[in-house]
Structure 1
Amino acid sequence: MKEHASIFNDVLGPVMIGPSSSHTAASVRIGRALRQMVAGKITYFQADFDPSGSLAASYITQCSDIGLVGGLLGMDPTDSRLTNAIEIAEDGGMEIIFRIIPYENEHPNTYKMTIKTDLGEELAVVALSVGGGMIEITEINHFAVEVTGGFYETLLFGEALNLTEADFAEKISKFCSVVIKEQSEKTLLHLKTQQIIPENEIAWLNQQMTVDRFIAFDPVLPIMSQKEPKMLFSTAEEMIALAKKEDLADMALRYESHRGSISEEEVYQKAEAILEIMSNGINVGLAGTSYEDRMLGSQAPKIRANRDKLIGDDLPAKIIENISALMEVKSSMQVFVAAPTAGSCGALPGTLIAVGDYQKKSHDDLVRGLLAAGMIGVFIAEYATFAAEVAGCQAECGAGSGMTAGALVQLMGGTIEEAVDAASMALQNVFGMVCDPIGVRVEVPCLGKNMMCGMNALGAANMSLAGYAVVIPLDETIDSFNKVGRMIPPELRCTGHAGLAQTKSGLAIAEHLGCPLDCC
């Protein structure tokens, strides 16, 4: 069933620690889902990565290893113990194996995993990280499944079942969907619901089939999915046609309220909470951060210390300062918001808050700007990707630039048409941006690309507010943006096999940092 993009699931989040939303936060979510699939204590965990994918090159430097194990231990993406997760698990008796071996897969962020427990349970699971911390579980014990973390999932493996969807809809509370699959004389019954299935209903299910294995786990996303709601709109063009006097933030409130079946007040409050974490991150970064295992030291305080040398007035300096602060909070393993991803976490909040301060905008103006950014991000999530492993850095920093441009127009009181056009113009400027991080770490050239995309957003917002012609509307731009990104060679999609990562200096830095991978 179609699960529509959510502002707080797909775009403004996750709230996390670690270098990568695709590789750290998504791994935690996958691990947490796996933990719920078994009853016993996990004694063995194995994860295999295909050498042609991104994870083979990045699973250590971008913390997929600690994310998976932390999730298995029940940690969430903000848990300060994540950096010690493997040590904690091994001390508790878990055997942990990571292997790089070839296998067939269709996504560069594929996790092929096996877990065993002290109760004799053994589970084989395949999962994907699809960008911005979002996940898909695609296979459980060799049955194809579709799990994205927005529902309560109940799976019964066994034999002999003869029921219709109407039977389940009548008997199961908060029923959303059912899939029944036959394979090798075995049956999989897979139910999606909006609450845990009560024990009396589980008993009824057990009467309908011979059950060999029962698996149930909770949602891992902040906004639950719904039973295929008819959305208010699905494209920017439809949104503009529906809006009357509403601006982009108004439409974001309406969309997320409808998508998540929550009130507009709840949507606003969630955006406020996100803004507070972002603002706090800037303050933490400007005070100076330290972390031994990173490439760059604390850079953000240098802007203020050397202000008299810098070109221009306070606005560009403040944008650079804010973006630096946020990227350094990320790199020092402190809490931040991946918006839309960890690698692009600086451009949107750094630029929005800098412009808000410069223009003396209110707290409400900033919250509404953030919501506007989220709405632009929904269209990108629906029709493109936030994964650099799939479409290069244009999918991360580039997408963030489009979101930021829309946010800035909203901040300045622009119309919905102006905000959408600004987003389109910003995206048009970043086609083909590659992802070539040195040492497969999310620092260089990621910091500079965040700054570039913040400035690009500022320019696009001013162009739109001044009445420049957009030429290509947002929906068409996103479609082309997606196609171009997927044409970028795999070597330039977060693998460390080309670009700055393979320069003489880049390789020397990677070696100094102890990069254990063959790409370095």
Structure 2
Amino acid sequence: MQTPAVSIFNDVLGPIMTGPSSSHTAGPWRIGCFIHHLMPDFSAVRILFPQKGSYAGVYKGQKSDIALVAGLLGMEVTDPDFRHSLTRLQEKGIPLSIEIVDMPLDHPNLSVVELTDTATGRKLAVGSWSVGGGMFAIRSLNGHALDCVGDAHELLFLAPDGEAGRLDALAPLLADIDHILARSRSDELLHIGLTHSPSMELLQRLGTACREQGITFMYVPAILPVTAQPESKTPFSTAEGLLRFLETSPMPLWQAAVRYESARSGWTEEEVLAYAMRLVRIMRDSITAGLGEGLESAGFITPCAAKLHARAATMTDMGNIGRGIIYATAVMENNSAMGRVVAAPTAGSCGVIPGILFGLVGLGETDEQEAARALLCAGLIGVFIASQATFAAEVAACQAEIGAASCMGAAIVSHYLGSDHVTALQGASLALQNMLGLVCDPVAGCVDIPCINRNSTAVGNAFIAANMAHAGFDAVIPLDQTIQAMYSVGTMLPRELRCTGLGGLCLTAKAREIETCLQAKRQQTR
């Protein structure tokens, strides 16, 4: 399937999720949801994580097992019971096996989920990647190659081994299907992706025909908020392309972002702004939740954002930056406590943009439309990063998460400063330049240390970069080239420094002590 253009609401600002990690919580949950539709009734689960992949070292701390099982059970990612999915599975009497195995690794976030339905003897094996920021790719089904990324309505037809010819009998029915986005065939597996949900009548006719032919028919509705559009053509995908676009079609940066997402999604400009305002409200709620009393971390820290907020007057007065630091801490602590957040662009960096935005406008009465415009400016910068690099720390380390968020956040500051689009791109480039080489080394595999403090640092960095550019400091290196440098640096870093728990702060004596304590605590709660 052709890779669709980056969507602000699929790839950059989102998903709306339960913490703590987009790659290792939201992504696995979405993978589990996809598999749930393939086999909603199962009696045993086996999950395989590669020994040299990222999951092996962090899946417990970042709740990948909980998320996968929640998806398999059909639970929503913001379900209050999400964190108890393993208990719910156990209550159903369904055994779960999680194994770290020596297997070929074609992506750092590879996993294989095997389901069994003992009542029918049916078995399912699904290979997948969690590719960063909550995005995912289904790569195989029962050994057959597959390419599904959640942005289409999927029809899947699986013939018995060695009997691919049975699929030919479906040709008359399939010829009448509208809105086909993609079509592929891998031996006994036929895959058709649709831009629109099929009618119940069509699903029933396909189900009947497949039963007559002994074919397994599976339907998976679109999982991402923005579905792929076969005729969509975005006006640009890089910062350089944006500059050329604005030469002939002058408009504010936020309006260019709306124009881009409208072209990508097929949504009206009003719908794009309305969705952005929804994200603004959830970001504000995540700050409020993080500042509340009684927050219980699912990691190992003791939440302190409320304390920082209460003692703000005793700290050095840094104005908007100081407020933003506290708000970023609140969001990240809420994320660590498995609260509701917006991954922007990831959960590990989800405090940066809310911290910057509400550090500027405050938590009181907010002009939500203006805040949404500022947020879309950040989203557009994220499009350039996602189009040319990655948000996955497993691929390019923390610079691709918190560094990217700081780069995007600089555009929010530029928006409220009234900077033009050229200056906004300069500020974004400066912010990312300052974050190059930042490694990903979460202590005990959790998103507590150093992630929370780094989010706050990234807030200050974004303010500094945007203000310097606004005052006339030249970033020298264009944003696109800085993004490409970030990706290059990330791929040069050893895997030990890319969210594996094998390097950096993870190996300090204190980190080992924390990890041992957490392991003992998990044993006690089993």
TM-score scaled by length of structure 1: 0.93
**Aligned runs of 1:140-155 on 2, under 5 Å?**
140-155=141-156
> Residue 213 of structure 1 corresponds to which residue in structure 2?
216
What SS is found at the alignment partner of 2:181? strand
Q: Deviations over 1:290-317 (max 9, x none)?
A: 2164322121123233334322343232
In structure 2, C-alpha distance between the alignment counterparts of 1:225 and 1:300, rounded to whole Å: 39
Alpha-carbon shift at residue 200 of structure 1 (Å):
6.0
Show the 5 A alignment for 1:141-180: 141-158=142-159, 159-160=164-165, 171-180=176-185
Q: CA deviation at 1:67?
A: 0.5
**Mapping of residues 491-506 of structure 1, within 5 Å:** 491-506=496-511
1:114-263 matched pairs, under 5 angstroms: 114-117=114-117, 118-158=119-159, 159-160=164-165, 171-182=176-187, 187-198=188-199, 201=202, 203=205, 206=209, 212-227=215-230, 229-243=232-246, 244-263=249-268
Alignment match, 1:61: 61
Amino acid at match of 1:238: G
> What displacement does 1:412 show?
2.1
Q: Which residue of 1 aligns with 2:393?
A: 388
Residue 170 of structure 1 deviates from its aligned partner by: 5.7
* Contact 1:168–1:175 (CA under 8 A) maintained in structure 2: no
Identity rate, percent = 37
1:94 aligns with 2:81: no
Check conservation: 1:426, 1:460, Cα contact below 8 A: yes
> What is the deviation of 1:211?
5.4
Aligned to 1:372: 377
Among candidates 423, 429, 453, match of residue 458 of structure 2? 453
- 1:405–1:457: 8 Å Cα contact kept in structure 2? yes
Give the secondary-structure state (helix, strand or coil) at the position aligned to 1:30: helix
Distance 1:291 1:360 in 2: 28
CA distance in 1, matches of 2:313, 2:219: 60
Q: How does 1:270-289 map to 2 (within 5 A)?
A: 270-289=275-294
Answer yes or no: is 1:14 the counterpart of 2:15.
yes
Closer/same/farther in 2, CA of residues 167 and 404 from structure 1, 3 Å limit? farther
In structure 1, what is the equivalent of residue 269 of structure 2? 264
Q: Report whether the alignment pairs 1:433 with 2:438.
A: yes
Shift of 1:337: 1.0
Give unmatched runs, 5+ long, in structure 1. none
User: Structure 1 residues 463-472 or 352-361, which shifts more?
Assistant: 352-361
Aligned residue identity for 1:275: V
Q: CA deviation at 1:473?
A: 1.0
Kindly provide the amino acid, as one letter, of the partner of residue 68 in structure 2: L
In structure 1, the partner of 2:486 is 481
Q: CA deviation at 1:20?
A: 0.6
CA deviation profile, 1:396-432 (whole Å, cap 9, x unmatched): 1001010001121122222121212211111111111
Does the aligned pair in 1 maintain the 2:297–2:336 contact within 8 Å? no
Give the equivalent residue in structure 1 for 2:409.
404
Q: Report the Cα offset of residue 188 of structure 1.
A: 2.4
Alpha-carbon distance change, 204 to 48 in structure 1, aligned in 2, over 3 angstroms: closer
Cα deviation code 1:258-284 (max 9, x no counterpart):
111111111101110110011111122
AA partner of residue 42 (structure 1): F
Are the counterparts in 1 of residues 52 and 105 from structure 2 also a CA contact under 8 Å?
no
On the 8 A contact 2:291/2:309 being kept in 1, the answer is: no
Superposed displacement of residue 181, structure 1: 2.9
RMSD (CA atoms): 2.4
How do residues 314-333 of structure 1 correspond to structure 2 at under 5 angstroms?
A: 314-333=319-338
Contact 1:23 1:129 in 2 (8 A): yes
Q: 1:106 aligns to what SS in structure 2?
A: coil
Comparing 391-400 with 492-501, which one deviates more in the overlay?
A: 492-501
Superposed displacement of residue 361, structure 1: 7.7
CA separation in 1, counterparts of 2:363 and 2:479? 28
Shift of 1:472: 1.2
Residue in 1 that maps onto 2:71: 71
Judge conservation of contact 1:22–1:133 (CA < 8 Å) in 2. Answer: yes
Deviations 1:6-38 (A, max 9, x none): 111111111111211111111111111101012
Indicate how the Cα distance of structure 1 residues 43 and 478 shifts in structure 2: closer, same or farther if over 3 A, else same.
Answer: same
- Given the superposition, is the C-alpha separation of residues 192 and 471 from structure 1 closer, same or farther in structure 2, using an over 3 Å criterion? same
The aligned length equals 510
User: Corresponding residue for 2:49?
Assistant: 49
Per-residue CA distance 1:215-250 (angstroms, 9 max, x = gap): 221111111111152221121111221123312110
Match of 1:31 in 2: 32
Alignment-mate amino acid for residue 395 of structure 1: A
How high is the TM-score relative to the length of structure 2? Answer: 0.92
SS in 2 for 1:431: coil
8 Å CA contact retained: 2:138, 2:147: yes
| Contact 2:325/2:457 (<8 A) preserved | no
Q: Decide which moves more: 88-97 or 211-220.
A: 211-220
Structure 2: gaps of 5 or more residues: none
Give the drift of 1:359.
Answer: 13
CA deviation string 1:58-108 (max 9, x = no partner): 111110101011001111211111111111112112111100011002111
Q: Does 1:507 align with 2:512?
A: yes
Deviation at 1:167, TM superposition (A): 8.8
CA distance in 2 between partners of 1:366 and 1:181 (Å): 47
Contact persistence 2:297–2:333 (CA under 8 A): no
Amino acid at match of 2:293: G
Cα deviation for residue 372 of structure 1 reads 0.6
What letter corresponds to residue 356 of structure 1 in structure 2?
V
Q: Closer, same or farther in 2 for the Cα pair 1:116/1:305, shift >3 Å?
A: same
AA paired with 1:482? Y
Is contact 1:368-1:411 (8 Å) kept? no
1:344/1:446 contact within 8 Å kept: yes
